Structure 1
Amino acid sequence: MSHRMQPIARSGRPFSGQSLCGSESLWFDQALQRQRGAEVQTVDLADLDDAAVQRLSAPRPTLCGLTQDQPRLMGILNVTPDSFSDGGELDTIEAAVTRARQMAGDTDILDIGGESTRPGAEEVDIQEEIQRTAPVIEAIRAAGVTTPISIDTRKARVAEAALNAGADIVNDVSAFTFDPELADLVAERDVPVCLMHSQGRPEDMQNDPRYDDVLFDVMDYLEERISFAEGKGIKRERIITDPGIGFGKTLEHNVTLLRNLSLLHDLGLPVLLGVSRKRFIGTIGQAEVARDRVAGSVAVAMHGIAQGMQILRVHDTFETRQALRLHAAMTEKK
Structure 2
Amino acid sequence: MQARSLTLDSVVKTYDGEHRAVDRVSLDIEAGEFVSFLGPSGSGKTTTLMMIAGFEQPSSGSIRIAGRAIDRVPACDRNIGMVFQNYALFPHLSVADNVAFPLRMRGVPKAERKRRVAAALEMVGLGGFASRQPAALSGGQQQRVALARALVFEPDVVLLDEPLGALDKAMREHMQIELKRIHRDLGVTMIYVTHDQTEAMTMSDRIAVFNAGRIEQIGTPSEVYFEPRTRFVASFVGDSNLFEGRSLGDGRFTLDTGDYRARKHFGTTAGDPIDVLLRPEMIHCGEAVARNGCDVQLELLIDTMVNYGDSVLLSGRCDSTSLRVRVRGPEARDLSLGARCPVGWKSSDLHVVA
Task: Report the TM-score range of the alignment, normalised by the length of the smaller protein.
Answer: 0.3 to 0.5
Compare CA radii of gyration and give the structure with the larger one. 2
Quick check: which one's helix share is greater?
1
Q: Which has the bigger relative contact order, CA under 8 A and spacing at least 6?
A: 1
Name the TM-score, length of structure 2 as normaliser: 0.32
